[in-house]
Amino acid sequence: MTGFSSRILLFADRWPKGLALLLGLVSATGFAPLGLWPLTLLAFAAWMMLVARAPRGRRALGIGWAFGVGHFTLGLNWIATAFTYQAAMPAWLGWVAVLLLALYLAAYPALAAWGAWAVQTFVAPAKAAAAGSQGARPNAAPAFAGATPSFILAFAALWTLSEWLRSWVFTGFAWNPLGAVAVGPMASPAIWIGTYGLGALAVLAAGVPLLLVARRWKLAGLAALLLAGITAGAIASIAGAGAAAAINGKAVDAPQRIPITLVQPNIGQEDKWEGGKADVNFAKLAGLTVPKGDAPRLILWPEAAIPDYLEAGYPPVYYDRSPAEARGRLTSLMNPNDLMLLGALKLEVDPTGEVVGARNAVMTVHADGSLGPRYDKAHLVPYGEYLPMRPLLSAIGLSRLAPGDIDFWPGPGPRTIDLGAFGKAGLQICYEIIFSGQVVDRAHRPDFLFNPSNDAWFGAWGPPQHLAQARLRAIEEGLPIVRATPTGISAVIDADGRVLESIPMHRAGRIDTHIPRAHAPTPFARHGNYLSVGFALLLLALAIAFRRRGR
């Protein structure tokens, strides 16, 4: 080992948490919009070595936590922008919120790091156990500790399990799973093991440079070949599913072509709820929607596209115009056989006539002005759409980021809506699309997913990250996804996760096209995150087996 390498290791041993924090920041550059995924893999490799060299479990836990703080602080920086649109809160509070969230989310990488360290430390090789060893770690770890199959496999398994836990504990916050750095052909294995399983493959890939630095050439080559083979097999499987869908109409029970008009009005968050600009905002939507021909279309507008209430029965004070008039403004833009899906609000009224709650909904409007099925958002954003512990937090001056004093109520979950000639649509509003395995009613598989969103207050990093995660859902489920947002990025995504058409951020436009064909249900579409968790447990079992055999 050279003198330079020795100095690096000395620095790492003296300042492990500071270095882990820096590596966490670097690792987040692999997510959109930067997409520097090789840096992510190298940062993970260096972090894994730091963890493996930890002399005690408490040190490994701290190194994992410090890495997580850096990883999530940079990756979630867009959250700070959201606070600039809430006049009741100072802008600096947004960065406090980012840091506090990162401090919490860092607990998951910390647990993964401690677990991998424990497997490496306390699961004794068979020969050592026979000799009476307890697997205790010596004070000085090897120079390239962690360059072993058992440690790398354990790290991959426990990272996957930690991300799965993060997706549902305390209602879950699944933003930026590690698999999101691999959007594109490298994400193909998601059809088998889901996005969280992709995270395991990314950690395994990060183990390759760790093995190379340790000069374990054969192991590194074998690992690289296995990863390449898994990816190639998944790509071939997806290609086969696409060919089956194109050739055999029975492979996917769906209409041949669903014509759509997708609208992005470029209405900024600062203008969205400005009462005096409501008519101007509607004019933008209307101008982009007027028919270009007589053919029937499915018109798709963003989340909370209009402030009007389309349903009757609310207290009169809530109506700027009658529901019939509000629906008439919409139907004036439609051909006789058009259908519109748009984001709107629904109110919940108690028996006394008092409004007690609201729903973030997608409404179906027919060309004759009648309303069809409605979808209510189920996975609400804490502090965005409702204020947890409202009596306490409102007393100290906190409020929701979305305007209004009435909290939103959740809907029942994924739902498929029959749109007649326009097929069957699955609905996921805004960040609901980030929850792997939770976006489709599996008993009633849709032909496509519609994801209306409002990314206008997510800064420069949030929208491309949101799009990347929507692409992963398309791959997992084998379904096309259509996204409509006020300021971008609106897109048409095929069942392979490819963006076929899109409207860039901060540009008004419309897309007239047809929804791509769905694939036959993927293994993940049938079994969901049972496959991700099962894959992680398999890797963990292999890690323990390798460790026990001392290889």
Q: What is the DSSP string of 94-138?
A: HHHHHHHHHHHHTHHHHHHHHHHHHHHHHS--HHHHHTT---PPP
DSSP 249: G
Q: What domain range is 52 assigned to? A: 3-245+530-549
Please check whether residues 364 and 395 belong to one and the same domain: yes
What pLDDT, on a 0 to 100 scale, did the predictor assign at position 190?
93
Please check whether residues 144 and 264 belong to one and the same domain: no
CB 81 within 8 A of CB 459: yes
What pLDDT, on a 0 to 100 scale, did the predictor assign at position 235?
75
d(CA 143, CA 1): 8
Residue 264 lies inside a defined structural domain of this protein: yes
CATH number of the domain encompassing residue 439:
3.60.110.10
d(CA 256, CA 448): 12
Residue 257 lies inside a defined structural domain of this protein: yes
Supply φ then ψ for residue 147, to 5 degrees.
-85, 55
What pLDDT, on a 0 to 100 scale, did the predictor assign at position 225?
83
What pLDDT, on a 0 to 100 scale, did the predictor assign at position 30?
96
Residue ranges in 445-503 assigned as alpha helix (H): 462-477
CB 28 within 8 A of CB 105: no
CB 426 within 8 A of CB 438: no
HSE-CB at 274 with a 13 A cutoff on CA atoms is 13
What pLDDT, on a 0 to 100 scale, did the predictor assign at position 362?
96
Please check whether residues 317 and 405 belong to one and the same domain: yes
Give every residue of the chain whose pLDDT is below 50, as ranges.
129, 131-140, 248-252, 395
Strand 298-300 vs strand 258-264: parallel, antiparallel, or unpaired?
parallel
Please check whether residues 270 and 199 belong to one and the same domain: no
CB 367 within 8 A of CB 334: yes
CB 314 within 8 A of CB 538: no
Residue 524 lies inside a defined structural domain of this protein: no
What pLDDT, on a 0 to 100 scale, did the predictor assign at position 11?
64
- Whether the upstream peptide bond of residue 516 has omega within 30° of 0, thus cis, is no
Strand 298-300 vs strand 339-349: parallel, antiparallel, or unpaired?
parallel
Residues 6+ apart with CB under 8 A from 541: none
Please check whether residues 494 and 392 belong to one and the same domain: yes
CB 123 within 8 A of CB 136: no
What pLDDT, on a 0 to 100 scale, did the predictor assign at position 243?
56
Task: Judge residue 249's burial from the number of C-beta atoms within 10 Å of its C-beta, 0-12 exposed, 13-18 middle, 19 or more buried.
Answer: exposed
> What are the tokens at 85?
């649109």
CB 358 within 8 A of CB 407: yes
Supply φ then ψ for residue 134, to 5 degrees.
-100, 10
Q: Which of 450, 429, 443 is nearest to 379 (CA)?
A: 429
Q: Which CB contacts under 8 angstroms, 24+ apart, belong to 226-233?
A: 227/201, 230/189, 230/201, 231/185, 231/186, 231/188, 231/189
Please check whether residues 38 and 167 belong to one and the same domain: yes
Please check whether residues 384 and 444 belong to one and the same domain: yes
3-state secondary structure of 361: strand
Residue 525 lies inside a defined structural domain of this protein: no
Residue 60 lies inside a defined structural domain of this protein: yes
Please check whether residues 349 and 224 belong to one and the same domain: no
- With residue 235 as reference, give the H or E element that holds it: helix 217-247
Please check whether residues 139 and 278 belong to one and the same domain: no
Please check whether residues 288 and 206 belong to one and the same domain: no
What pLDDT, on a 0 to 100 scale, did the predictor assign at position 178?
96
What pLDDT, on a 0 to 100 scale, did the predictor assign at position 127?
55
Strand partners, 8: none
**pLDDT (tens digit, 9 = 90+) per residue, 378-432?**
988 877 676 665 555 554 555 555 666 678 889 999 999 999 999 999 999 998 9
What pLDDT, on a 0 to 100 scale, did the predictor assign at position 292?
82
H helix and E strand count, the chain: 18, 12
- Radius of gyration over every alpha carbon of the chain, rounded to an integer in angstroms: 25
Residue 107 lies inside a defined structural domain of this protein: yes
Q: Give pTM, 2 decimals.
A: 0.90
Please check whether residues 155 and 26 belong to one and the same domain: yes
Q: What is the dihedral of CA 12, 18, 21, 27, to 10 degrees?
A: -30
3-state secondary structure of 539: helix
Residue 504 lies inside a defined structural domain of this protein: yes
Please check whether residues 239 and 258 belong to one and the same domain: no
> What are the tokens at 418?
């029959």
What pLDDT, on a 0 to 100 scale, did the predictor assign at position 77?
93
Q: What is the dihedral of CA 350, 356, 359, 364, to 10 degrees?
A: 40
CB 445 within 8 A of CB 416: yes
d(CA 347, CA 155): 47
What pLDDT, on a 0 to 100 scale, did the predictor assign at position 134?
43
3-state secondary structure of 253: coil
Overall domain count for the chain: 2
Label residue 506 left, alpha or beta by phi (over 0 means left) and psi (-120 to 50 means alpha): left
Residue 115 lies inside a defined structural domain of this protein: yes
d(CA 310, CA 328): 10
Q: Which of 331, 341, 343, 415 is nearest to 367 (CA)?
A: 331
